[in-house]
Chains A and B, each alone.
Chain A
Amino acid sequence: MAKSQVSMTVNDKKVEGLVEPRMLLIHFLREQLHLTGPHIGCDTSHCGACTVDLDGKSVKSCTMFAVQVNGADIRTIEGMAAADGTLHALQEGFREMHGLQCGFCTPGMIVRAYRLLQENKDPTEDEIRFGISGNLCRCTGYQNIVKAIQYAAAKISGVPFQEAAE
């Protein structure tokens, strides 16, 4: 199959690749760029484990072809921490609030939450739950993921985080 040249920005770095037109973005990221954050959990765009941030939107990278994102600006979990290694508030929040167990959904979940907080700095619990409903988690039951996102929202806004009374 004829291959196409693609170039894009991934986690602030320019990257290029030669891909079959049918190659999914998730495979390009994992197989050609050797990223290990975005995962594959289903074949039907339901689980969100492959979520990346693409030109300011949360996108399931199993549902786009690499050739479709030519020229795009992509951020994955690998591009969340600061250059000096300081974890992003969401990464910190997920650990502090026990928002992960097996860790398989976590990269997609955090990248999705990143965009959610860009769109809504102070989401309600219901808004968070709706906002992450495209991302499935089989381990945590979501309650601590919600807390993790609230923790990050508070930290980003510079206000002290207070856990809601149970």
Chain B
Amino acid sequence: MNDMTPTSAERAEKLQGMGCKRKRVEDIRFVQGKGNYVDDIKLPGMLYGDFTRSPHAHARVKKIDTTKAAAVPGVVAVITAETLKTVNLAWMPTLAGDVQMVLADGKVLFQNQEVAFVIAEDRYTAADAAELVEVEYEGLPCNVDPLKAMSANAPVIREDIKDKKEGAHGPRKHPNHVFNWQAGDKAKADEAFAKADVTIKEMIVYPRVHPCPLETCQCVASFDKIKGELTLWGTFQAPHVIRTVGSLISKIPEHKIHVIAPDIGGGFGNKVGAYPGYICAIVASIVTGRPVKWVEDRIENLSTTAFARDFYMETEIAATKDGKVTGLRCYTVADHGAFDACANATKWPAGLFSIISGSYDFPAAHVSVDGVYTNKAPGGVAYRCSFRVTEAAYAIERAMDIMAQKLKMDPAEFRMKNLIRREQFPYTSAFGWVYDSGDYQTALNKAMETVGYKQLREEQKKCREAFKRGETRELMGIGLAFFTEIVGAGPSRNCDILGIAMFDSAEIRIHPTGTGICRLGTKSQGQGHETTYAQIIATELGLPADNIAVEEGNTDTAPYGLGTYGSRSTPVSGAATAMACRKIKAKAQMIAAYMLEVHDDDLEWDVDRFRVKGNPERFKTMTELAWAAYHEVPPGMEPGLEAINYYDPPNFTFPFGAYICVMDVDVDTGSSKVRRFYALDDCGTRINPMIIEGQIHGGLTEAFGIAMGQEIHYDEDGNVTTASLMDYFLPTAVETPKWETDWTTTPSPHHPIGAKGVGESPNVGGVPCFSNAVNDAFAFLGSTNIAMPHDNWRTWTAADKLGLHK
């Protein structure tokens, strides 16, 4: 070595590995309009499909006449449930173990339900003809209120299963009952409540919302009759699952189905499920022998594919009078709409809702969830969260504030007193989850110090006094949320989808020149996987990230995986990537030992090379070893340098964070302005801080939308009244607050690189933080729980009910 030899640190920096703010690879095409999204795909002879949809929420379908539609020039075919019955596809299985109509079969169960599918030469003709399908309906009484769904006189939504006493998740106690699911120890929790000094009970509602990615759901199906093969391009967060489900439903052998998810314009859970549009496009392609494109419009997207939340959570906390929590109970009614098409791991009908004990050391806890059918769209996806985790985080974080209020304790002090302590990790919750790692007090202290929490409370006190004296009409709210997520599904002992264990995968091939390709079972929808997975490989293998191509979404080439949602890409496929790298590295070490004529154990790893211990000038770089792997491997060794890993994580990961929001609320207009929002996240090892920060910004903005304005609302006749961007609130740059981000790092002990996943944390923590800020503004007036969304009207109404306008 001489002075010109780069140091280890210099070499490491050039790799652009983990911890580096590497610029994104995918941006080069996106900033030039050269992404390849589904609607960009054009095939020779391609047809377009469009739906005729139900104007009614609940009605019998007496007759469907497609004559006029079929007669429109350019229309190739019109498909109804009768057509689908000939191929046994009028109904399809859902991920939750229920069945769902593909096209209305005798009845419609929610407004905008798919009734007929028109296939035409162009999209305008398809839309024209869809209007001409004549459907005779006979209206039925409808119900859109989940709390009334199991009453004696509730209209029966699902006549197909009305006499079925046993559902996919156990006994059903009413024709509109989907399941009852419980976790925790009821007797122990009841005992805690019987003995408690103080208890609170509040109905906490998380309204129905929709993920609303900017690109809607869409697909192109192309069936090759000669080969008997189907190629399906689509907006799929989980392309392999779509292939398997597609094969099971269509009976086309799985190896003859090619599912390809190209660039995806945002997913947020909306693109996990299988929708009637996909089935109809496939059938249409089989029927016509031509490729068929189906593209949802925004109204169809908001009103039919994959709502989220709609949880009615009666939440109770028991505590001692000095503020130590002793028990938690939550009874929830979950509105699943007309079909249980919830996207959860199959055995978990309420997802991972039992993370509801949150970040606190509850000795006893019990939850019970009843799913019910209503005349609303099916779905129940995890909108930027792990399965039902955001509902749980909202309930516990709201309830903790309500209990603090009753105890006359500061919400931060009350939380601090009950947070799981660092020395308790790995911590087993009252629901049996084993939290992998955490340092909660450090995070909360850092957050409080950074924002000057004590001073803020002082200021708030003065503001409230001024308000009482009539000197101001503004109230100051300080919102706090300390959340713990459970992500990275998942251990196969806990989680499967339709029997497929929720592992994930990475396959890495290093080429002779030291570049390579990594293919994975996940699928980016904007998370920047092409950038970050390469960073993991760069650090693990000592090859520059720029020399690694990352490919996802093609089920013919990618190893099997369960896809991207529930913050599972980094915890599961990220782990698979590291493990595959380690297999490659082990082989490279043997090659290096052979070339350097030393024993394997005499070598040590140094950033990008194996060097002889005590003699660092004798080394072989990974690039040299890649070349050697293809021409001078040790005798008896297979040539080549590649590996595949299917990673079944030993546990979930448990990211956490402390968020603080300062808000000013005008009691006369109901408008509120976020003065400050500080988010501290701990996602374990940080792969790309730039991308993490971007994920936090985006998730907080979605949380802001949810807390402050989003709702998929139905009127009592079952009309969905918020199905376009006229009525469904998406924040613009003007409303969106400025975000301050911060972090602590507590690696996951069971993950190969210690990473926990981050994309969903800001949604999970953000929603209760905003809501707590609004509620905190009014808390000193005796108000305990103002329901979301906190738009101006609702906030004004809350102020009015408190007598503030007299």
Contact = CB atoms under 8 A, between A and B. Distances in A.
Q: Do A and B come from one complex?
A: yes
Interface of A: 20, 22-23, 27, 30, 34-44, 46-47, 49, 76-78, 80-81, 87, 91-92, 94-96, 98, 100-107, 110, 128-130, 132-146, 166
Please give me the 4 A-B residue pairs with the lowest Cβ-Cβ distance, nearest first: A37-B33, A102-B526, A103-B30, A104-B265
Contacts of B740: 166
B214 A81 contact: no
A43 B697 contact: no
Nearest to B724: A44
Q: Main SS of the interface on chain B?
A: loop
Contact of A22 (B33, B124, B699): B124
B676 to A, nearest CB: 11
Given A42-B298, A144-B694, 10 more contacts: A41-B214, A42-B724, A42-B725, A77-B33, A101-B528, A129-B732, A133-B733, A135-B732, A141-B694, A142-B733
Contact of A101 (B526, B700, B724, B734): B526
A100 B33 contact: no
Contacts of A139: 266, 526, 694, 698
21 contacts: A30-B39, A39-B39, A39-B214, A41-B216, A41-B265, A43-B297, A43-B299, A46-B730, A81-B32, A100-B24, A102-B264, A102-B265, A103-B526, A104-B213, A133-B734, A137-B214, A137-B733, A138-B214, A138-B702, A141-B699, A141-B701
Given A129-B734, A137-B214, A142-B736, A98 B24 contact: yes
A87 B31 contact: yes
B345 to A, nearest CB: 25
**Most chain A CB neighbours (cut-off 10 Å) among B39, B701, B730, B732:** B732
Interface of B: 23-24, 26-37, 39-40, 42, 123-124, 212-216, 263-266, 268, 295, 297-299, 525-528, 690-691, 693-695, 697-702, 724-726, 730, 732-734, 736, 738-740
Contact of B298 (A30, A44, A105, A129): A44
Nearest to A105: B214
Contacts of A49: 214
Contacts of A30: 39-40
Given A22-B124, A133-B732, A142-B701, A41 B215 contact: yes
B736 A101 contact: no
B24 A95 contact: yes
A129 B32 contact: no
B733 A98 contact: no
Contacts of A110: 31
A78 B32 contact: yes
A20 B24 contact: no
A36 B526 contact: no
A140 B697 contact: yes
A92 B123 CA distance: 35
B724 A95 contact: no
B609 to A, nearest CB: 31
A84 B204 CA distance: 58
Nearest to A92: B31
A76 B33 CA distance: 9
Nearest to B735: A133
A143 B739 contact: yes
B730 A136 contact: yes
Nearest to B266: A102
A104 B733 contact: no
B694 A95 contact: no
A43 B27 contact: no
Contacts of B28: 95
Contacts of A42: 298, 724-725
Contacts of A47: 214, 298, 725, 730
A30 B48 CA distance: 15
B732 to A, nearest CB: 4
Contacts of A141: 694, 697-701, 736, 739
A101 B124 CA distance: 31
B692 to A, nearest CB: 10
Contacts of A145: 733
Contact of A138 (B268, B690, B734, B739): B268
Contacts of A142: 697, 701, 732-733, 736
B532 to A, nearest CB: 12
Contacts of B702: 138
A143 B697 contact: yes
Contacts of B39: 30, 39-40
A38 B694 CA distance: 23
Contacts of B732: 129, 132-136, 142
Contact of B214 (A43, A92, A104, A166): A104
Nearest to A77: B33
A101 B732 CA distance: 16
B31 A38 contact: no
Contact of A103 (B263, B725, B736, B738): B263
Contacts of A106: 30-31
A36 B698 contact: no
Given A20-B124, A87-B31, A101 B694 contact: yes
A23 B264 CA distance: 26
Contacts of B212: 138
